[in-house]
Chains A and B, each alone.
Chain A
Amino acid sequence: MNLRAQEGSKAGPLALYGTPVVSRLFVGTAGYPSPQVLSEAVKASQAEIVTVSLRRETAGGRMGGQFLDLVSALGVKLLPNTAGCRTPRDAIATAEMARELFGTDWVKLEVIANDDTLQPDVFGLVEAAKALVSSGFKVFPYTTEDLSVAERLLAAGCQVIMPWGAPIGTGRGLANKQALMTLRAYFPGVPLVVDAGIGAPSHAAEAMELGYDAVLLNTAIAKATDPVGMARAFSIAVKAGRIGYEAGLMNPRDMAVPSTPVAGTPFFDIE
């Protein structure tokens, strides 16, 4: 089967849980050199969906309110995460706190299995997804590229699947491209977002060329020498990759094929 030419959700604009989304680049808000650079980078990225989180507030602390004011001024849709949660119970409670604080029922669900790889605990993920969907959440699960897990997440009521490209923060790109292609081919109508592991604009373009509906990244922009410039680069790369996908990529061949016509080649003797 030629997975490259599979359909994906090629036709029509992207909608996530019924919300139309124009920009196919989602960005995180962590690790920027300053709040000012964060604001400028998000604007340069043209992202409409921005991830945020929750952390413990110290006695008398004011950090949370200041950050909320900053991101609220960006005019974007917030996608709170459950980063760092190790159990479904923690993730569910974190999602509920996020819903109250950020005023959204969207949640990027993370249940982490391992501190070194930050790989999802897919069993806990499915369990938490079921509970959150039944509580009215619109769940964006951060998962692996495993097809059977994706099936269970969809059965749990998730309408978006977000497989990793590579472990969070590694910037290694699409570590298991074949599995991502299989996932795309198998779920042509499901919004699929590559989340994590994207290190360069070319990685983002590659994900889009595979027919992924969007990419979500943070570190590659935040830790660039010039985060605002890198945000612009990712914005262009995501658009280019999507246009390329919609235009239909050629199929790779094993052998060379001349692009210039052979017929009429000078000095070429047929006999």
Chain B
Amino acid sequence: MMVTVNGKRVETSAQSLEELIAEQALSDQRIATALNGQFVAADARVGTRLKDGDKVEIVSPRQGG
């Protein structure tokens, strides 16, 4: 299926948000996630199922003013 990860269309076989993060090689990183505009807590990623057309945000700490 196709999902959008950080604004880019991605073909994925991941069934859950957790699997998608593993596919993106970010499992061991300090990241936070949102699905279709809603925050998904770290401990809820395993149980968060993905479907075609989902929009996922994966963010990490950055400089800010």
Please report A residues at the B interface, Cβ cutoff 8 Å. Answer: 28-32, 38, 51-65, 67-68, 71, 80-81, 83, 89-90, 92-94, 96-98, 100-102, 168, 196, 218-219
With a cutoff of 8 Å between Cβ atoms, the chain A residues found around residue B25 in the complex are: 59-60
Which of A62, A68, A100 has the most C-beta atoms of chain B within 10 angstroms of its own C-beta? A100
Question: Does B58 lie at the interface of the complex (its beta carbon under 8 Å from any beta carbon of A)?
Answer: yes
The 10 residue pairs across chains A and B that have the minimum distance between CB atoms: A64-B60, A53-B64, A28-B65, A218-B65, A97-B32, A96-B39, A60-B25, A30-B63, A57-B60, A56-B6
Q: In whole angstroms, what is the CA distance A241 to B7 when docked?
A: 45
Please report B residues at the A interface, Cβ cutoff 8 Å. Answer: 6-7, 24-26, 29-34, 37-39, 41-42, 57-65
Residues A29 and B58 in contact, CB atoms below 8 Å apart = no
CB nearest to B7 among chain A residues: A56
Residues A38 and B39 in contact, CB atoms below 8 Å apart = no
Q: In whole angstroms, what is the CA distance A68 to B41 when docked?
A: 19
Residues A61 and B65 in contact, CB atoms below 8 Å apart = no
With a cutoff of 8 Å between Cβ atoms, the chain B residues found around residue A54 in the complex are: 32, 59-62, 64
With a cutoff of 8 Å between Cβ atoms, the chain B residues found around residue A53 in the complex are: 61-65
Residues B63 and A52 in contact, CB atoms below 8 Å apart = yes
With a cutoff of 8 Å between Cβ atoms, the chain A residues found around residue B24 in the complex are: 59-60
Q: In whole angstroms, what is the CA distance A38 to B33 when docked?
A: 27
Residues A168 and B7 in contact, CB atoms below 8 Å apart = no
- Least CB distance, B49 to chain A, in whole angstroms: 19
With a cutoff of 8 Å between Cβ atoms, the chain B residues found around residue A58 in the complex are: 6
- Least CB distance, A25 to chain B, in whole angstroms: 14
Which of A32, A56, A90, A219 has the most C-beta atoms of chain B within 10 angstroms of its own C-beta? A56
Residues A62 and B62 in contact, CB atoms below 8 Å apart = no
Q: In whole angstroms, what is the CA distance A178 to B22 when docked?
A: 54
List, sorted by A's number, 30 A–B pairs whose CB atoms are closer than 8 Å.
Answer: A28-B63, A29-B63, A29-B64, A31-B63, A51-B65, A52-B62, A53-B64, A54-B64, A56-B7, A57-B6, A57-B31, A59-B26, A60-B25, A61-B26, A61-B29, A64-B29, A65-B61, A67-B62, A81-B64, A83-B64, A83-B65, A93-B37, A93-B57, A94-B59, A96-B32, A96-B34, A97-B57, A101-B32, A168-B65, A219-B65
Given known pairs A55-B59, A98-B32, the reply for A80 and B26 (CB within 8 Å) is: no
- Least CB distance, B42 to chain A, in whole angstroms: 6
Residues A64 and B65 in contact, CB atoms below 8 Å apart = no
Q: Pick from A30, A64, A89: contact of B64, CB below 8 A.
A: A30
